[in-house]
Amino acid sequence: MSRQIVIAANWKMHKTSEQARAYIQQLSKQVELAPNELVFLAVPATSLEAAASAAAGTSVVVGAQNMHDAEKGAFTGEISANMLKAAGAQFVVLGHSERRHVFGEDDAFINRKLHRAIDSGIRPIVCIGETLEQRKSGATERTLKQQIEQSLKGITAEQLTTVIVAYEPVWAIGTGETATPEMAQEAHAFIRKTLAELWNQDAANKVVIQYGGSAKPANAAGLMAQADIDGLLIGGAALEADGLLQIINNTHPIVSES
């Protein structure tokens, strides 16, 4: 079936408000998006308002890289869903491999964030993926199933269809290594099969599943040609607008020549 295509750039800890505005101005001038295609930018919290303002009236969707699960409280340095929404965030990345493996976030915490995001009207991108050790030991599918079961626990089939799942093979994040299109498709097909088993096939067929593991212009087209890959979550290769535009053009030629 035809699913929405979502190409998302995760800036991580890069770009000031001024740099965010300049990026979006360059991007929005060149991109003409088809109705079924979206470009997401996951920006630092300090740049959210500037980015959202710059993207207003364009096809670019601005969101956040993380959030806390509490509505408010004594959580120094944290940011709530309501704060993100007030700043203009339309989506939020949850459970990114760096949040899981650098900052120690577990599936239960990510699940609480997921429910908070849904309740607050912010679309979640939930990241899952195996480490190199897990892949070598044959635990890829077991790991993915556990992360799906626990990170997405307690949501309805209707809510599931609003969630974007991003498959991030941890061994390919920032290493220059990338899963082959066939490896990525195998993982994506397993994710969709698991979603169907846990919810239902109709809902699973509607879920956007992105690939996020050192995606770049050279491999984007091969990845996006796979049946169950509905988008990309891109890090370093999308830090400049030209890089993101090249990836978009290599996968779905929607960038104007003017």
Catalytic one of 37, 98, 130, 168: 168
Does the annotation mark 96 as catalytic? yes
Catalytic one of 68, 96, 98, 130: 96
Q: Which residues of 25-58 are buried (b: 16+ CB within 10 A; e: fewer)?
A: eebbebbebeeebbbbbbbbbebbbbbbebbeeb
Is residue 94 a contact partner of residue 83, using CB atoms and an 8 Å limit? no
Does the annotation mark 188 as catalytic? no
Give the residue numbers annotated as catalytic, written as ranges: 96, 168
